[in-house]
A and B are shown apart, each in its own frame.
Chain A
Amino acid sequence: MDKTREDILFFLEKDSRLTAKDLAVMLGSDEEKIAAELKAMKDEQIIRGYHTLINWDKTDREFVTALIEVKVTPQRDKGFDEIAERIYRFDEVKAVYLMSGGYDLTVIMEGRSLKDIAAFVSDKLSPLESVLSTATHFVLKKYKDHGIALEKKSSKDERMIVSP
């Protein structure tokens, strides 16, 4: 990968609020050049969004996350892509990964309740023609997401205030 792009993504992945101006200072480049790279990477679908990492457990929003292992029959000419797309088109599906090993697709979904998830699995997912079986696991607590521990034990700077 181009060095400028690599550096932009290194910092942006950790803090999406950084502006082209900030990045230009941090990387010793100029603002127009960074802005152009950002746009190009968006056009090339390298950058697919600028999200916020939220610890929903700290809020009173009630919802359930489930991880569903799905076994499917791949289709001639299309492999797994078409069935994956059929699944990820549902709004409540947050992530779909093709896996190696004991099953084929990992589906991560959110619903308001266990019932919601159960309904989705039995009414939407299982009836799909290529789906052979599903195994649903509910997430009890999220400790770390996107490389960030959701509950930081202490943010105190342990260092002495001045040292040689």
Chain B
Amino acid sequence: MKSFVNKQIRELPPSGIRKYFDLASSMKDVVSLGVGEPDFYTPWNIREEAIYALEHKRTVYSSNAGILELRKEISKYMNRRFGLKYKAETQVLVSVGASEDIDLVMRAVLEPGDEVLLAEPCFVSYKACIQMAGGVPVIITTKAENKFRLTKEELLSKITDKTKILFIGYPNNPTGAIMEKEDLEEIAQVLRDRDILVVSDEIYAELTYGGKEHVSIASLPGMYEKTLVINGFSKAFSMTGWRLGFACGPEDLIDAMTKIHQYIIMCAPTVSQYAAIEALRSGDTSVTAMRKEFDARRRFMLKGFADIGLDCFEPEGAFYLFPSIQKTGLSSDEFCDRLLREEKLAVVPGTAFGECGDGFIRCSYAYSIDNLKEALVRLGRFVSK
């Protein structure tokens, strides 16, 4: 029988991660550096608040944009942490994870054929969301020698009169790269006089290391009006399964996104929203402790890679390392496939995050030191072969 699936979706490649997930799940005693979520579980006070919400019948729909009390907390949080002022009533949308915001903004903004500049390697869903919304992804390849930061020259070389959006995600998954204020300022200089919207996925904003604090491009002069900031609760508060994110930006854009959200989702899970209020009111200390742990593991892994002889730029954010495996002469896919079969160690090939990721692997350090030690032993044994 003829497939009912439309051409665009038929031709859309599945996420490059799925293959490894299927293979790794079928094997026993696999050690993994493959996850994209923290190994800390949601702090108990947050879970407890959700239980309380359930007990008190808070199981009904909320307003489309999210419980106002939560939007107010988000507004305070954005101001407290990043110096960004958003009106809770009109500039904050609570979504089903940051992923939903990516879809919403693309659908709200793009006309068929509009170009979206996308800094790769990046999170797996950016490109697909652009395409599904009828946009044309224009890839900017960030480079290890630039610490995987987007440069002014790279940006300028790709801007055309069809460019509608610049899409960035820093701290970056999969590279762990960050953009510091000076780097962002260079980008802002290019964009100030142009009608290009910046979509900035800042889901890892709480996870920066070596004393470096995250800076949002929206906080630079002239950028507030033309930036949509996407963030959420998954990484900072270990709330991945709660599916809760948010977007902050210009009123008309939030209004448009809320319209789509209202038709396709209605509202984010109410219980999760109550839990998130507690997270924002109380979570700062657990975030600080988590950041400290991650920072130590990051250093531990960097040292481990150096001992093995894998080149790796020093990431300053998220919880990933993105070492080069070019020395081995293997492609990322071959490397990961063989590493999994021969050493039962799961990592993610760089190609899952864009073609330019070939020659790299993504290693997550959201694991205990003991787990990381074992992973390094296996990785070292494999590389030395």
Question: Contact residues of A with B, CB < 8 Å?
Answer: 7, 10-11, 15, 25-28, 157-164
Distance (Å) between the CB of B319 and the closest chain A CB? 12
Considering only CB atoms, which chain B residue lies closest to A157 in the complex? Answer: B39
A162 touches which of B35, B123, B210 (Cβ 8 Å): B35
Which residues of chain A have C-beta atoms less than 8 A from B34's C-beta? Answer: 161-163
Q: Are A159 and B37 in contact (CB under 8 A)?
A: yes
> Residue of B at shortest CB range from A159?
B35
Q: Which residues of B are found within 8 Å of A27, using beta-carbon distances?
A: 296, 299
Which residues of the other chain, A, contact B36 by a CB distance below 8 angstroms?
A: 163-164
Could you tell me how many residues of chain B have their Cβ less than 8 Å away from some Cβ of chain A? Answer: 30
Residues from chain B with a CB closer than 8 A to the CB of A25 are 299-300, 303
Which of A7, A10, A11, A161 touches B346 (beta carbons < 8 Å)?
A161
| Contact, CB under 8 Å: A164 / B17 | yes
> 19 pairs across A/B with beta carbons < 8 Å?
A7-B292, A10-B289, A11-B296, A15-B369, A160-B21, A160-B35, A161-B21, A161-B24, A161-B30, A161-B32, A161-B346, A162-B20, A162-B346, A162-B348, A163-B17, A164-B15, A164-B123, A164-B173, A164-B352
In the bound complex, residues from chain B placing their C-beta under 8 Å from that of A15 are 369
B45 CB contacts on chain A under 8 angstroms: none
Interface residues of B (CB under 8 A from A): 15, 17, 20-21, 24-25, 30, 32, 34-37, 39, 41, 123-125, 173, 210, 289, 292, 296-297, 299-300, 303, 346, 348, 352, 369
Closest to B371 in A: A157
Q: Which residues of B sit under 8 angstroms from A157, Cβ to Cβ? A: 39
By Cβ-Cβ distance, the 4 closest A-B pairs, closest first, are A162-B34, A26-B296, A162-B21, A164-B124
Assembled-state Cα–Cα distance A11/B124 (Å): 34
Asked if residues A163 and B346 are in contact (CB atoms below 8 Å), the reply is no
**Separation of A11 and B296 alpha carbons in the complex (Å):** 9
Chain B's nearest CB lies how many Å from the CB of A16?
14
**A10 contact set on B, CB distance < 8 A:** 289, 292
Q: How far is the CA of A162 from the CA of B21 in the complex (A)?
A: 5
Residue in B35, B39, B292 whose beta carbon sits within 8 Å of that of A163 in the complex: B35
Return chain A residues, CB-CB under 8 Å to B289.
10
Shortest distance between the CB of A15 and any CB in chain B (Å): 8
Beta-carbon contact of A26 and B346 below 8 Å = no
Assess the B299–A162 pair: CB atoms within 8 A. Answer: no
Task: Report the separation of the CA atoms of residues A27 and B209 in the bound assembly, to the nearest whole angstrom.
Answer: 11
Q: Is the CB of B299 within 8 A of A163?
A: no
- A10, A28, A161 — which one has the most chain B CB atoms within 10 A of its CB? A161
The answer to whether residues A162 and B17 also contact, given A25-B299, A26-B299, A157-B39 and a CB cut-off of 8 A, is yes
Instruction: Report yes or no: A159 in contact with B124, Cβ–Cβ below 8 A.
Output: no
Chain B residues in 8 Å Cβ range of A163: 17, 21, 34-37
Given contacts A11-B296, A26-B299, A161-B346, 7 further A-B contacts (CB under 8 A): A15-B369, A26-B300, A28-B210, A161-B25, A162-B20, A162-B24, A164-B36
Closest residue to A164 on the B side, CB-wise?
A: B124
Q: Which B residues are in CB contact (< 8 Å) with A26?
A: 296-297, 299-300
Residues in A neighbouring B300, C-beta threshold 8 A: 25-26
Give the nearest-CB partner of A162 in chain B.
Answer: B34
A15 to B131, CA, bound (A): 48
Task: Please name the residue on chain B nearest to A163 by beta carbon.
Answer: B36
Chain A's nearest CB lies how many Å from the CB of B356? 17
Residues of B near A159 (CB, < 8 A) are 35, 37, 39
Most chain B beta carbons < 10 A, residue from A11, A162, A164:
A162
A152 to B292, CA, bound (A): 24
Q: How far is the CB of A154 from chain B (nearest CB, A)?
A: 11
Return A136 CB to nearest CB of chain B, in Å: 32
Interface centre among B21, B173, B346 (most CB of A within 10 A): B21
Residue of A nearest to B210 (CB): A28
Q: How far is the CA of A94 from the CA of B227 in the complex (A)?
A: 59
> Taking the nearest CB of chain A, how far is it from the CB of B290, in angstroms?
12
Give the docked Cα–Cα distance between A164 and B37 (Å). Answer: 8
User: Which chain A positions have C-beta within 8 A of B30?
Assistant: 161
Inter-chain CA distance A126–B36, complex, in Å, is 59
B17 contact set on A, CB distance < 8 A = 162-164
User: Which residue of A has the minimal Cβ distance to B347?
Assistant: A162
Least Cβ–Cβ distance between A67 and chain B, in angstroms:
25
- Chain B residues lying within 8 Å of A160, measured Cβ to Cβ, are 21, 25, 35
- Closest CB in chain A relative to B226 CB, distance in Å: 28
- Residue of A with least CB distance to B25: A161
Complex CA gap A28/B300 in Å reads 9
Taking CB as reference atom, which chain A residue is nearest B34?
A162
Q: For residue B39, which residues in chain A have a CB less than 8 angstroms away from its CB?
A: 157, 159
Contacts of B25 in A (CB 8 A): 160-161
Residues of B within 8 A of A11 (CB): 296
A159 to B367, CA, bound (A): 11
Known: A10-B292, A26-B296, A27-B296. A162 touches B32 (CB 8 A): yes
Q: How far is the CA of A159 from the CA of B38 in the complex (A)?
A: 9
Give Cα distance in the complex from A163 to B97, angstroms. Answer: 15
Across-interface contacts of B173 in A (CB, < 8 A): 164
